[in-house]
Amino acid sequence: MPEVKEATDSYFADFMRLEREANHFPAWLGELRKKALEEFAEAGFPTTRHEAWRFTNVSRIAETRWCAPETSANGAAASLLDRHAIPGVAARIVFVDGLFAPELSALENLPEGLQVVALRRAQQQPSGDLPGRWIESHLARHAAIGENAFVALNTAFFQDGALIHLAPGTDLKNPVHVLYLRASNGAHTATHPRTLVVTGHQSRGGIIESYVGQTDEACFTNAVTEIAVGEDSSVEHLKLQDEAENAFHVGTVQAVQARSSRFLSHSVSWGAALARHDINAVLAGEGAECTLNGLFQVTGQQHVDHHTCLDHAQPHCSSREYYRGVLDGRSTGVFNGAILVRKDAQKTDAIQSNKNLLLSEDAVINTKPELQILADDVRCTHGATVGQLDSEALFYLRARGIGLEAARHLLIRAFANEVIGRISFAPARQRLAERLLGRLSKGWTSEDSL
C-alpha cells in the first residue's frame, strides 16, 4: 500500500515541527508520543480489508492532507456554545478548534474533590510537571496505540483536552461538561482532542463530552477519551457527537474499571459525513458493572459506525448493552458489538441488544455481535433487530386522530427515548429530546415528554 505509506509520511514532518515548536511536554509523555507516531507509521490508516473497518472506508481521511486550524477568536464559537451548553452542570470546560478557551469555560467554585484542567494549561506549570500524579499514571496508558491507528495518531498529535479528577469519596451531583467546538472555517483542518477522566475509590460523578461544530469546509476530529474508574466508584459518561455534514469524526472511548465499579456509557451520535466510534470497557476488577447505551440517528448520505468492546477480564462482572439506530435517506450504519469473556471471568453476565429502525428503503445497517467466550460458567445473550416502523402501531395512533406524520415521529421518538431515558441528568435528556425533535421535523413543536 504505497499510497498509504505516503499518506503517513507527511505526518512525520508535522510531528517534527510540533516537537520543535512546542516542546513543552514532560519527558515521559514525549517518549509515549514518539512511540505512538512510530506505531501509526507502521500500521498506516486502516482499509476496508481490516476486519474492524470492513464497512467504514476512511480513504477520504487518509488521502486528505490535514492541517492544524488557525486559531482566531470568532463569534461562531460563542453561538455554538450558546446552542450546546447544558444548564446546571458542575463545571464547563470549552475547547475551540482544539485549544482551551478559558473565556468560554466556567471553572470557578468547583465542588470539593473535583479537578478540571486543560492539558495545555497543566503543562505550563513552572515546574514543567503536570498537576497530580494521576495524570502521569493514566494519560495515554489505557487506550492502546497498537490496536487502532487513530488512537496512535491522536496520541502522537494531541495538543489539548480536558483532564478531570475526582478525589476518593467525592459525590458529584451534577456532571462536568466538556465541549469540543469546531468553529474555524479553514480548509482541511484536523484536531486531536484528548480527554482523561480518573476517579478515586468510592466516588461518583458524570462527564458529558460534546463534539459539535458548524464548519463550511471539511474537517476532521480524531478524539480519544480515557476513563479510569476507581474501585467502588461510579462514572456516567455521555459522548454527544453532532458535527457538520462535511465533517469526519473518529473517536475512541476507553474505560478501565476497577473492582466493584460501575460505568455507564452513553453515546449519542447525530453523525457527520462519517463518524466512527469505538467504545471499549475493560472490566478489570471483580464485581464491576458496565452499561453501554447508544443511539445514532442519521440521514442523507451520512455514515455512522459504532464498534463496542466489552472485555470481561475478571469474575462476577456484568454488562448490559443497548444500542439503537435510526436510519433514513441513503445513510449507512454499522454496529459491531464485541464481548470477550476471558478464561478467569467466571459468572460473567452479559446481555447485548441492538435494534435498528430503517425509515427508507435505501438506508442500510450492518449489525454484528462478536462473542468470544473462554470461560465456561457464564451467561451471554445477544440479539439484533432491523425493522421498519410498525404499521399496526401507526394505524392504532391514526385511528385515535393522530396524523400520519405525527404518528411516525411519535414512534421514532419513542424508539429513541428508550436510550435517551437511561441518561440520568435531566437537562441533558431534555436537550437530546429537543435535538431529536428538531431533526425529525421543523414543524413539530410539542416539547412535552412522552
- Of 307, 40, 250, 229, give the one whose Cα is nearest residue 147: 40
Find all residues with CB under 8 Å of 347, minimum gap 6, and list them: 315, 316, 377, 378
**Type of residue at 7:** A
**Which one of 30, 128, 403, 438 is in contact with another protein (CB under 8 A)?**
403
Interface residue with another protein, options 22, 300, 396, 441 (CB under 8 A): 396
Candidates 323, 325, 342; CA nearest to 422 is: 323
Rank residues 192 and 408 by Cβ distance to another protein and give the closer one. 408
Site string for another protein, 127-166 (x = CB under 8 A): ----------------------------------------
Neighbours of 318 (CB within 10 A): 18
- In the list 393, 424, 426, 441, the residue contacting another protein (rule: CB under 8 A) is 393
Residues 362-391 that bind another protein (CB under 8 A): 390-391
Nearer to another protein, 320 or 398 (CB): 398
Q: Is 355 in the site for another protein (CB under 8 A)?
A: no
Least distance in angstroms from the C-beta of 210 to another protein: 25
Residue 186 three-state SS = coil
φ, ψ for residue 169, nearest 5 deg? 80, -5
CB of 406 to another protein, least distance (A): 7
Question: Applying CB under 8 A, does 447 fall inside the site for another protein?
Answer: no
Q: How many C-beta neighbours within 10 Å does residue 60 have?
A: 12
CA distance 223 to 330: 26
Q: Are 356 and 324 spatial neighbours (Cβ–Cβ below 8 Å)?
A: yes
Q: Which of 406, 429, 430, 437 binds another protein (CB under 8 A)?
A: 406
Whichever of 316 and 324 has its CB closer to another protein, that residue is: 324
Looking at the Cβ atoms of 122 and 416, the one nearer to another protein is 416
User: Minimum Å distance from CB 337 to another protein?
Assistant: 22
* Residues 38-77 within binding reach of another protein (CB under 8 A): none
- Tell me how far apart the alpha carbons of residues 323 and 326 are, in angstroms, rounded to a whole number: 10
Single out the residue of 167, 338, 351, 397 in contact with another protein (rule: CB under 8 A).
397
Which amino acid belongs to residue 275? A
| Residue with Cβ nearer another protein (299 or 417) | 417
Footprint of another protein on 407-426 (CB under 8 A): 407, 410-411, 413-415, 417-418, 421
Quick one: 219 or 432, whose CB is closer to another protein?
A: 432
Q: Where do we find the cell 411519535?
A: 410
Residue 251 CB neighbours (<10 A) = 26
Distance CA 57, CA 233 (A): 38
Phi, psi dihedrals of residue 121, rounded to the nearest 5°: -60, -45
List the one residue from 16, 22, 404, 426 that touches another protein (CB under 8 A): 404
Nearer to another protein, 136 or 418 (CB): 418
- Residue 248 or 323 with smaller CB distance to another protein: 323
Minimal distance, residue 395 CB to another protein, in Å: 6
How far apart CA 366 and CA 264 sit, in angstroms, is 25
Helix or strand or coil: residue 295? strand
User: According to the binding rule CB under 8 A, does residue 443 interact with another protein?
Assistant: no
Cell matching residue 145: 496505540
Q: How far is the CB of 396 from another protein (least distance, A)?
A: 4
Torsion angle of the four alpha carbons 406, 412, 418, 420, in this order, in degrees rounded to the nearest 10: -90
The angle formed by the CA atoms of residues 153, 253 and 171, to the nearest 5 degrees, is 135
Instruction: Check residue 67 and report its DSSP letter.
Output: B
**Contact pick of 13, 401, 445, 447 for another protein (by CB under 8 A):** 401
Of 2, 75, 399, 442, which lies in the binding site for another protein, with binding defined by CB under 8 A? Answer: 399
Q: Which is nearer to another protein, 28 or 396 (CB)?
A: 396
Segment near another protein (CB under 8 A); pick from 186-194, 223-231, 343-351, 403-411: 403-411
The three-class DSSP label of residue 390 is: coil
What number of chain residues touch another protein (CB under 8 A)?
Answer: 28
- Give the β-pairing of 247-257 and 219-229: parallel
Q: Which residues bind another protein (CB under 8 A)?
A: 390-393, 395-404, 406-407, 410-411, 413-415, 417-418, 421, 446, 448-450
